[in-house]
A and B are shown apart, each in its own frame.
Chain A
Amino acid sequence: MILKDEMLDSLLTELSKEQIVYVPKQVNGTTRFAPYVSSDKMKLDQVNTVMPPKDLLFPQTQNMYHYGVEKNSGNMFIDPVIESADQILFGVRSCDMRSFDCLDAAFLTKGYIDEFYQAKRDRLTTIAIGCTEVSETCFCESMGQDPNHAPQADIQLRHGEGGYNVTAQTEKGEALLEKFKPFCEEGEVEVADVHCTLNVDASNIKDNLDILHESHELWDSMSYKCLNCGTCTFVCPTCYCFDIDQENRCKEGVRFRCWDSCMFSEYTAMAGGHNPRPEKRDRVRNRFMHKLNYFEDRYGKMLCVGCGRCIEKCPVSLDITVLIDRANELAQAEETEAAHA
């Protein structure tokens, strides 16, 4: 089935009558997924938005409950706020699609289900578009993704000359496909596969990082220029750490959670002054280890999808692919040394 380029606006206008359709576009000087308005210019030629789509499921700030004192009884009350709406994420790339697998693992498994996340997750439909170009920081293929195709998406689009090939991949996708039909025609356009130009061997990175001791010089050299600004965690589609805080006015307020960053020293600082990760070296190491080692240990998948945002946005050019390369080399060197000893 083909969706012609000129029909795209009509389709999105139709879809957004019933649901909120998030499309990649420019908002306040940055690209992100935001609700579709027909007069806006979408950024579909963009390789990746600057901001990942994680805030659809895990908003930057999310109210959890209102609290206060009841006027009559004088008792404290707690009113949970669980918000959700039918949402369509349109134009998501394979890497960001894969990031939802990571968020699902963190929020929905291991004993506790995060109902705030689940409420949004259940009502999200995803329409992925295969990449037609790659940027110099894209390395999703090295992390096991296919830039042309996202198997997790409900509907997959691929762009070719004049239009998109449309394929439903899940039940949810089949249902939504009915809405596509009036705007589509039979047939297929020819599409060309793209491939990443940045490649790194991440196949053994977990084991290799296990070989390198915490005190290894690699962590000194990787962290010395880090500013602990937290940009990498902010733009990362899989970073999911959060803080819980409140906004209070007199005797009522709202307790909310908001994105936090493991790059900040306050993140682990305890009352009384002890901090288990006091140096930026400890924090940089923890971040990379969480991405490439700890998360796999716990959930069976890498917490890096190869979108390249952290590489592109880091003000001092800290590069996770450089870390992977160096860790591979150093681990191999240690193993060879151990074999000779």
Chain B
Amino acid sequence: MPEIEIAHGCANGGEPFIPQVCRIKEIIPETHDVKTFRLTTLDGKRPFDSKPGQFGLLSFISEGECVFVISGFGEDYIQFTVKKVGRVTTRLHQMEVGEQVGVRGPFGNWFPYESCKGMDMLFIAGGIGMPPVRSFAQYCIDHREDYGHIDYVYSASTYADLVCKEDLFENWPKVPDMNVYVSVYHASEESEKKGLTESYTAPFLETLGIEASENRAAVVCGGPSLYRTCSESLKKLGFADDHVVTTLEMRMKCGVGKCGRCNIGSHFICLDGPVFTRAEIAQMYTTA
């Protein structure tokens, strides 16, 4: 059985606390409360190299710092997809192209993109759980020949809350051997026009006829209830715990395993995680 290997305790040993100054290169509105921010250094370079699933911390004059997963990157930028929920994210949403921010990172471990090579991939995301999962999915799409069949299951509260619509409805359906399934919790005129199912993520997932196999990895990210229900559904479908990968979220301040708050037992999510298999999480809770 192919094993999924996840690196833990990843530290690049670099500058942990002092951010670098970056400029907002581009802002892409995703939904009414989600925007993607592309950041570049003052001399127009990519701030740092990162692997899918790693995170960075953003700060501004007057607010910060907050942890966000790096949702993607390009030649000369990294991007964060941020939902407006609190003080810092509200401030971020008021910012305009050209304004400057502080960025620290990359921190944490990454999705097992190496050991998943050759496998079929099932991505499951809910709401603002999209950006972390997208970073891995996009990597697979960019290296399409290295991976098997790709299924992408995504749900959000309403049609208006769906993040990365362009990927969902235009880019990804064109990717060979990839299926995109989208559902909304509350149907609307627009969702019906697109022919989207009205369903919660877990029951929706169970109807898709996706079968577990030794050669298929599932990647899940969403709120606590989505994680709980989808884990049960995946179990029902026959997925082994070590073939279900997720990325955890906790309040973090330092990002480098010092400030103390993101622990589950003796594990720090920032340094040992945020990516774990379901088997590892189960093990973590028996010792926590």
- The answer on A and B forming one complex is yes
Residues of A participating in the B interface, judged by any CB pair closer than 8 Å:
64-65, 67-69, 75-78, 80, 106-107, 110-116, 210, 214, 240-244, 246, 248, 251-253, 255, 257, 260, 262, 267-272, 274, 276, 286, 289-290, 293-295, 297-298
Q: A116-B17, A241-B260, A271-B86 are in contact. Are A111 and B11 (CB under 8 A)?
A: yes
Interface of chain B residues 15 through 54 with chain A (CB within 8 A) = 16-21, 42
Given A67-B61, A78-B21, A298-B266, residue A242 in contact with residue B260 (CB < 8 A)? yes
Do B258 and A260 touch (CB < 8 A)? no
Rounded to whole angstroms, the CA-CA distance of A293 and B287 in the bound complex is 10
Distance between Cα atoms of A69 and B23 in the complex (Å)? 13
Would you call B164 an interface residue if the criterion is a C-beta within 8 Å of the partner chain's C-beta atoms? no
Given contacts A262-B261, A271-B85, contact A255 B266 (CB under 8 A): no
With A242-B259, A270-B250 as known contacts, state yes or no: A112 contacts B18, CB within 8 Å: no
- Please determine whether A240 and B13 come into contact, CB atoms closer than 8 angstroms: no
Contact, CB under 8 Å: A248 / B265: no
Chain A interface helix/strand/loop/mixed: mixed
Task: Let me know if B223 and A274 touch, CB within 8 A.
Answer: yes
Given A75-B42, A268-B261, A65 and B266 touching (CB < 8 A)? Answer: no
Write out the residue numbers on chain B whose beta carbons fall within 8 Å of the beta carbon of A260: 253, 259-261
| Interface of B (DSSP majority class) | loop
**With A76-B102, A111-B9, A246-B62 as given contacts, are A210 and B258 in contact (CB-CB < 8 Å)?**
no
A67-B61, A248-B61 known; A76 vs B9 contact (CB < 8 Å): no
Tell me the bound Cα distance from A76 to B64 in angstroms.
15
**B122: CB under 8 A from chain A?**
no
Q: A80-B18, A111-B9 are in contact. Are A268 and B250 (CB under 8 A)?
A: yes
Q: Which B residues touch A65, using CB under 8 A?
A: 17-18
Contacting pair B61 A295 (CB below 8 A): no
B219 at the A interface (CB under 8 A): no
Q: A112-B11, A112-B13, A262-B261 are in contact. Are A270 and B100 (CB under 8 A)?
A: no
B254-273 toward A: CB 8 Å interface, digit per residue (1/0)?
10111111011110000100
- With A253-B62, A255-B59, A271-B85 as given contacts, are A244 and B253 in contact (CB-CB < 8 Å)? yes
Interface membership of chain B positions 77-107, coded 1 if the CB is closer than 8 angstroms to chain A and 0 otherwise: 0000000011111000000000011100000
Closest to A65 in B: B18
Chain B residues with CB below 8 A from A268, complex form? 250-251, 261
Given the known interface contacts A75-B21, A251-B61, A271-B86, the answer about A243 and B266 at a Cβ–Cβ threshold of 8 Å is no
Q: Report if A110-B257 is in contact (Cβ < 8 Å); known contacts: A68-B61, A75-B100, A272-B85.
A: yes
Counting from the closest, the 10 A-B pairs by CB-CB distance are A111-B11, A271-B86, A241-B260, A297-B266, A294-B266, A76-B100, A112-B256, A271-B85, A298-B266, A112-B16
Q: Which residue of A lies closest to B88 (CB)?
A: A271
* B261–A244 touching, CB < 8 Å: no
Does B59 lie within 8 Å of A210, measured CB to CB?
no
**Bound complex: CA A337 to CA B9 (Å):** 38
A272–B222 CA distance with the chains assembled, in angstroms: 13
- Docked Cα-Cα span, A91 to B111, in Å, equals 50
Beyond A242-B258, A290-B263, 13 additional contacts (C-beta under 8 Å) are A110-B271, A111-B12, A111-B256, A112-B16, A214-B288, A244-B259, A270-B249, A270-B250, A271-B66, A271-B85, A271-B89, A297-B266, A298-B266
The minimal Cβ–Cβ distance linking B179 to chain A, given in whole angstroms, is: 30
CA distance A240 to B260 in the complex (A): 8
Smallest CB gap from A274: residue in B: B224
A252 touches B61 (CB 8 A): yes
Q: Bound state CA distance, A115 and B64, in angstroms?
A: 21
State in angstroms the CA–CA spacing of A298 and B13 once bound together: 18
**B227-271 CB contact bits vs A (8 Å, 1 = yes)?**
000000000000000000000011101101111110111100001
A272 touches B271 (CB 8 A): no
A316 to chain B, nearest CB (A): 24
Chain B residue with minimal CB distance to A271?
Answer: B86
CA–CA, A293 and B288, complex, Å: 9
Check if B65 is an interface residue, CB within 8 A of chain A. Answer: yes
Report yes or no: A241 in contact with B261, Cβ–Cβ below 8 A: yes
Complex Cα gap A84–B16 (Å): 18
The answer to whether residues A114 and B16 also contact, given A106-B258, A294-B265 and a CB cut-off of 8 A, is yes
CB–CB B21/A111 < 8 A: no
CB <8 Å contact, A64 and B250: no
B18 near A111 (CB under 8 angstroms)? no
CB distance from A281 to the nearest CB of B (A): 14
Partner of A69, one of B61, B66, B259, B266: B61
Assembly CA distance A293 to B88 (angstroms): 34
Q: What is the distance, in angstroms, from A2's C-beta to the closest C-beta of chain B?
A: 43
Contacts A110-B11, A290-B263, A294-B266 hold; do A78 and B18 have CB atoms under 8 A apart?
yes
Can you spell out 29 A-B residue pairs with CB atoms less than 8 angstroms apart?
A64-B17, A67-B61, A76-B100, A76-B102, A77-B21, A78-B20, A78-B102, A106-B258, A111-B10, A111-B12, A111-B257, A112-B13, A112-B257, A113-B13, A241-B259, A244-B254, A246-B59, A248-B62, A260-B253, A260-B261, A262-B260, A267-B251, A269-B251, A270-B251, A274-B223, A274-B224, A289-B288, A294-B288, A297-B266
* Shortest beta-carbon distance from B154 to chain A in Å: 19
